[in-house]
């Protein structure tokens, strides 16, 4: 928090792929942004009194956090690494918010049949009498990556707008750009080098280090954000399962479940007696499993006599204290 103001500010992308998904995430977490006029560049989060929301271009958010004009920001991990590399003022609170997935890659024309890796690109360049022309919006990351591959005879062309056309019209030999689905590359007869990924990126949450260290209220909001974001993201990967299982005691049922790979739960299953009309020895079981393990969990429950299985989404899974918050405190001591 800048000493010249008394509000806490979080910057969100104003447009582009991250904009709608950032608002969606906050809404699902329970921190809906109230913006009565869609043309406004300011808003509030009713559940966080004293917090103002500002809308900026994703690339500018990094600078705003760095300079302290905003305290928190959601932007792309690619932008953070390009525009604030090794900057001690900007601290990453959560590197992976679960959306905005893309990767920064070295891309060459599809008809370069002998070029598949960075070493092939270097060999190809040795036969040329001019530097390799590389068009990109990420000159810092690109330059370092090419240096790491001992390919320094390059001419960087800092470009804006669509890069895919650059090799076709001849103002660049190679491009370095973000790729999400790869459809645009295929349409323009381009290909990614096998070892040409510079960076994997998605939306991330960043903060101003000075504000976190010097203003307790900013630190409190950071903890609140991390509590709910981490709990929500963790829950989004899991499902709750309820099932009925015949057994003499909870301990007997648990011992069967512990022999299985998936259905032992987080610390263990919750098992309670089920009251039946015939007073039969049935128990209700509640456990959490990962979404990609659901089919296996159902099969394992059936193997030990489970029936009446009900599966529901999970909204939050809170830890004793988020690891991300502990990591933030440790980073502030550095």
**DSSP SS3 for 208:** strand
For the entire predicted model, the pTM comes to 0.90
Q: What's the pLDDT score for residue 288?
A: 93
Residue 231's Cα: distance from chain center in Å? 14
Residues, the chain: 334
Residue 286: C-alpha distances to residues 35, 107, 206, 308, 327 (Å): 40, 49, 36, 12, 31
Burial of 271 (0-12, 13-18, 19+ CB in 10 A): buried
Distance of alpha carbon 125 from alpha carbon 59, whole angstroms: 32
Enumerate the CATH 3.40.190.10 domain ranges in the chain, comma separated.
8-101+202-235, 102-200
Q: How many CB atoms lie within 10 A of CB 214?
A: 12
Q: What's the pLDDT score for residue 58?
A: 93
Q: What's the pLDDT score for residue 126?
A: 78
Q: In this structure, which topology does domain 237-313 adopt according to CATH? A: Alpha-Beta Plaits (3.30.70)
Q: How many CB atoms lie within 10 A of CB 309?
A: 15
Asked: is 8-101+202-235 a CATH 3.10.450.50 domain? The reply is no
Residue 101: C-alpha distances to residues 18, 121, 196, 199 (Å): 10, 27, 17, 11
Enumerate the CATH 3.30.70.120 domain ranges in the chain, comma separated.
237-313
**DSSP SS3 for 275:** coil
Per-residue pLDDT of the chain (334 residues; tens, 9 = 90+): 666 678 899 999 999 889 999 999 999 999 999 988 877 889 999 999 999 999 999 999 999 999 999 999 999 999 999 998 877 899 999 999 999 999 999 999 999 999 999 999 988 887 777 899 999 999 999 999 999 999 988 999 998 888 999 998 888 999 999 999 889 899 999 999 999 999 999 999 999 999 999 999 999 999 999 999 999 999 999 999 999 999 999 999 999 999 999 998 777 889 999 888 887 889 999 999 999 999 999 999 999 999 999 999 999 999 888 889 999 999 998 8
Distance of alpha carbon 118 from alpha carbon 299, whole angstroms: 46
Distance of alpha carbon 296 from alpha carbon 264, whole angstroms: 12
Q: What's the pLDDT score for residue 55?
A: 96
Distance of alpha carbon 107 from alpha carbon 90, whole angstroms: 30
Q: What's the pLDDT score for residue 79?
A: 96
CATH number of the domain at 102-200, please?
3.40.190.10
Q: What's the pLDDT score for residue 63?
A: 96
């Amino acid at each position: 928090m800048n000493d010249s103001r008394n509000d806490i500010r979080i910057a969100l992308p104003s447009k582009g792929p991250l904009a709608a998904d950032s608002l969606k995430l906050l809404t699902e977490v329970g921190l809906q942004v109230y913006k009565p006029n869609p043309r406004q560049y300011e808003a509030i989060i009713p559940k966080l009194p004293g917090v103002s929301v500002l809308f900026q271009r994703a690339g500018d958010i990094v600078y705003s956090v760095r300079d302290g004009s905003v305290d928190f920001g959601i932007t792309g991990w690619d932008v953070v690494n390009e525009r604030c590399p090794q900057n001690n003022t900007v601290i990453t609170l959560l590197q992976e918010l679960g959306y905005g997935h893309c990767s920064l890659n070295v891309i060459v024309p599809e008809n370069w049949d002998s070029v598949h890796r960075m070493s092939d690109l270097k060999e190809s360049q040795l036969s040329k009498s001019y530097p390799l022309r590389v068009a990109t919006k990420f000159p810092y990351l690109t330059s370092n990556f090419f240096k790491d591959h001992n390919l320094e005879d390059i001419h960087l062309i800092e470009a804006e707008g669509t890069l895919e056309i650059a090799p076709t019209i001849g103002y660049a030999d190679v491009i370095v750009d973000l790729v999400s689905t790869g459809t645009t590359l295929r349409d323009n007869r381009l290909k990614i080098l096998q070892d040409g990924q510079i960076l994997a990126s998605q939306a991330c949450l960043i903060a101003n280090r000075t504000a976190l260290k010097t203003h307790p209220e900013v630190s409190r909001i950071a903890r609140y954000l991390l509590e709910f974001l981490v709990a929500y993201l963790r829950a989004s990967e899991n499902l709750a399962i309820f099932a009925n299982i015949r057994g003499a005691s909870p301990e007997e049922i648990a011992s069967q479940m512990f022999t299985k790979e998936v259905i032992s739960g987080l610390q263990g299953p919750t098992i309670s007696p089920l009251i039946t009309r015939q007073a039969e020895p049935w128990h209700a079981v509640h456990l959490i499993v990962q979404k990609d393990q659901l089919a296996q969990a159902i099969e394992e429950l059936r193997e030990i006599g489970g029936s009446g299985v009900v599966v529901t989404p999970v909204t939050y899974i809170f830890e004793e204290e988020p690891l991300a918050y502990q990591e933030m405190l440790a980073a502030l001591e550095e």
